[in-house]
Amino acid sequence: MRKKIVAGNWKCNTTIQEGIELAKAVNELVVTTGAKDVVVVLGTPFTHLTSVVAAVDSTRVGVAAQNCAAEAKGAFTGEVSAAMVKSTGAEFVILGHSERREYYGETSATLNKKVALALANGLTPIYCCGEALSVREANEQNAYVKTQLEETIFNLSAEDFSKLAIAYEPIWAIGTGVTASTAQAQEMLAFIRGLIAEKFGKAVAEETSILYGGSCNAKNANELFAQPDIDGGLIGGASLKAEDFLPIINAY
């Protein structure tokens, strides 16, 4: 059965001390009252990875970087490689977040390299896709997301593809308080699963965890996660307080 994943994306928030406190608080709640069949992931800044890995029970809480370099190593000042991320004990890496595409010019070509390096270093990519409001208003979201997938992860072997998770995050829903309706989210995730089935076969499609992200919170997570194709969430704002994050983890 495919995994249910609830992943927090802390973005550029928390000092290292605050991050450790937050991780400990989430860990405590997950260990004592968290749903056992949900994979919980904390997406922290690079600087926090080692400390957060040390602060949590790795059998219940995983740790993710929010990015990695497109090159393996070398003269790339300021970059953090997939191997470096892996060496912290983190197991996941969020790739292709719309904020990275928009503010840091990440293209499909860059993402191809990042996904390949993440996989080669034993990290699980949480690959993000999703359309802007103008694309949704033109009702072109399916074609848009299909192209994103084709250009970045559909060129993988079925074996490599089956190691990653996908997060559909409509840009108009990220940090806006506007959530995609349950029907919109389910429709897109079913569409993505159908594309995976066409490309890699039904068995791979059935095993791929596809998450929804975009203003997901304790109030709407229950309804979203009840949908047949929604295997969890990528959570921004609501992952920054343990007491907001736990109800989302327990929304199944």
Q: Partners of 40 in the beta sheet?
A: 6, 61
Taking the complex as a whole, the smallest distance from the CB of residue 7 to ligand PEP amounts, in Å, to 9
- Of 22 and 238, nearer to ligand PEP (C-beta) is 238
**How far is Cα 170 from Cα 216, in angstroms, rounded to an integer?**
12
Which residue, 214 or 232, has its beta carbon nearer to ligand PEP? 214
Contact assessment for residue 63 and residue 48, using Cβ atoms and an 8 Å cutoff: no
> Across the strands, what pairs with 124?
92
**Least separation in angstroms between CB 102 and ligand PEP:** 11
Distance CA 168, CA 2 (A): 16
Q: For residues 7 and 205, which CB has a smaller minimum distance to ligand PEP in the complex?
A: 7
DSSP per-residue letters across 34-69: S-TTEEEEEE--GGGHHHHHHHS-TTTEEEEES---
For binding to ligand PEP (CB under 6 A), which residues are involved?
9, 169, 174-175, 213-216, 234-238
What is the rounded CA–CA span in Å between residue 187 and residue 183? 6
Catalytic annotation, residues: 97, 169
Nearest to 218 by CA among 242, 238, 233: 238
CB atoms within 10 A of CB 20: 18
CB of 214 to ligand PEP, least distance (A): 5
- Pairing mode of beta strands 4-9, 232-235: parallel
Which residue, 34 or 237, has its beta carbon nearer to ligand PEP?
Answer: 237
Residue 5 beta carbon to ligand PEP: minimum distance, rounded to whole angstroms: 13
Which residue in the shown chain puts its C-beta closest to ligand PEP? 236
